[in-house]
Structure 1
Amino acid sequence: MQLRSLSPFKGLSLACLGISLPTITIALLSVMVAGCDYRLLFTATAAPSAEAISPSAQENPDPVSEAIAHATTAANLTQSARTWEEWDRVAQHWLEAIARLKTVSIEHYHWDFAQQRIPKYQKNLTYARQQFDRLDPLKPALTKGGRASQITRVALHKRDWNKGVQAWQDAVTQLQIIPPTYPQYALVQQKRVEYERNLTFSKQQLLQFHPFYQGIAKAEEAKQGAETASTMEQWEKVSLLWKQAIALLVSISPDDDKAILAAPKIKEYESYLTAVHQQIAQLDPYNRAVAQVESARKLEKTAYSMGEWEAVRGEWQKAIAHLKNVPTSHSQSALAEQLLAESQLNLAYAGQQVRQSDPFDRAIATAESATKLTKSAFSLYDWNTIASQWQEAIALLQSVPPTHGKHPLVAQKITAYQAALDHAIQQSRQGLQPFSTSSPPRHSLAKTPL
């Protein structure tokens, strides 16, 4: 490829330049680089020999002479430049030529020439740089890096990160082929570090889609959930995470390099899943209800006193509460509804037994019976029976525990019942025989002096 801007005066004579050249090599070289055919110049004006150049000129080279030397080299290299390295050398010589011309002082006899050449050399430099840019190996690397950045910026799925990894790998490979002689090699190294870091990150993101690492991630999530789980619903979520982790590890192909790592993990996760199932069983409202029902039925078989029947009633209440918490989605939902109906009937029966065994209520009932008999009492037998009922009523009141809701009325009732008992005893003493009972009732007060 040939730079047309480097030879605008090709084939012209000295007169076309419009300048008067001294008989020195500098002038000849100036005209040659300006564009005229150097062979024509040498035939028109003889160049001075090397001996004619003074030692002082060799020791202190003229900036115009140096500029023309660089320009000549640039023009010659342009004729065969094909690669970015060659165009870079061309550009460097044009830069040097321009730099030398800019140092020419206004007093220099070729100052006008230097001022005319600077914009022309600048134009040639621009062209050389354009050719360099066209072949610049860094440009495709930056283009590939930009494409990779766009892919990874919006990547969500496995296929996206696969594309991202490939794109970053292509960009890194493009940078690796750039030699250290590249003009901006420091930038190449900087980009290489950046692209390799992005490549590593993309590979890590891609690994997240491997079933082994997905299983590990699910297991970590399950462990975190287990630390705070307290309800059945929370433990069921933990159970689901362990099941997902196990399923992912099981899906790994036997020829996968992660298969050997997955095998012990599967056993470990299965043990964790078993422990979670135990937690769920303990918190399952249906299971807890069944346990309470069994406990209530066991207590019911031997219940006699009010306290024992209250314990039975408490067990039925707990069972009902658990059964009401069984969700409709539960596998035993239908059985739970049936058991709930049965438990409510049993709770009502236990409540009746509590009331019937309540010492205060029984005392009141016994006192009412004694009062009723008193209205029609006539014989000694009647008064003995009445006295026995008052004794039993007083004994029942004395057995009322302090925690009973009506315990504050006990003392008042005992006083009243004792007076009624005394009256019945007096009535019996007025009969044909002294008061006595062949078999005093349980907790009878007849044994104690009145």
Structure 2
Amino acid sequence: MLTLLGLGMILCFMYLIMTRRMSALVALTLIPVIFALIAYVLGFFFDSLSHIEIQNLGEMMLEGVKKLAPTGIMLLFAILYFAIMIDTGLFDPSVKWILRLVKGDPLKVTLGTITLTLIVSLDGDGSTTYMICVAAMLPLYKRLGMSPLVMACLMMLSSGIMNLTPWGGPTARAASALHVDPSDVFVPMIVPMICAIAWVYFMGYMYGRMERKRLGIITLDVSHGDNIQISSNPEANRAHLRWFNTLLTVVLMICLVKSVLPMSVLFMIALCIALVVNYKDINMQKDLIAHHAGSALNVVGIIFAAGIFTGILAGTGMVDSMSKELVAIIPESMGPFLAPITAVLSMPLTFFMSNDAFYYGVLPVLSEAALHYGISPVEMARAAIVGQPVHLLSPLVPSTYLLCGLAGIDFGQHQKFAIKWAILTCLVMMLGGLIFGGFPFYSTLP
């Protein structure tokens, strides 16, 4: 009965958010509460549910929220930090330098597209990344006669890889769903991400050579780059403090990789230093935080709501029950391969369902089953984030529609052109994860 209730709760949750009948925040909160109450009522008729008590439901939910609190705090301050860095104009020189460097060479244009997207993607917001990068690069593609499909594909793949940063979304979701530290998920995946980035650069080089052979090199005026501003608030620009902001960001990245302090604390400290140094006016500090609060709240709210979902899923015993059933149907010979199986499944599953549905609905069940074969939750979390480049081709991802609209291409054309490269990028990342120890190819029983 617990298995049926657990499956029913997950399927109901997935259906409601995929059909847009509920937002992820609302569904993550209300659906588990409703199913927990159903389980309580059924407990009068089924002994397997008799342990569920009304007074314990609050404790389950609160326990789930407590476990996700560090992740929620980290995301809040990470999003605000990178938003403030964009406001200060930290990335403006990078954009202008890339535009001047590529000029009229199609090969340099494709490589510059990747570099620019990787830099701008640090803020973790796909929509912002596409708006900035398309505004900077599309005039060059049009002037040279290059295909905007190539541009959109390279931007999407680069963004999909950089989206694996803990503040980007998927890593935080996987970590919160399995109650592990996002830094423990992210840091071992840095080298596999670099492998995937190298592969995307190879793609860009290949297409750039093809376009250079077809079009040649044209002398262009790239002065439009001087008018490109990433920040939406010109008054917040602090060009004279760019050296300080660069140093602060580099030190922050080093401290994150070295785990000097918890990620949430590091971002809190870095944000406060950035605000105090860049903006002496307290009212301006408040205005900037308020301006970016909406995007931060959307992500953080979902993380805390996920605490209720995972708390009830675990506290009632639904996850344990479903994992036992899953283990029972998985052939004994396939169990030790659950990590790479999860990595492969993350591609189609995150394509046909949202990240919330996959990470909060499917991944906990797979992870619980993998424990029986000696595969830790943090290894399963790493494997589960591999499929993100394919996920961005999903019709459920709003930012991809924005990319296609800005680039002036058809969504179906974009999918057809990019799907094979997205799959290959995921496979390269998976191979990197297996080779460099992100997750095991085969695990024996502990």
- Between 1 and 2, higher relative CO (CA 8 Å, sep ≥ 6) is seen in 2
Whether the TM-score (by the shorter chain) exceeds 0.5 is: no
Question: What range is the shorter-chain TM-score in?
Answer: under 0.3
TM-score normalised according to structure 1 size: 0.17
Higher helix share: 2
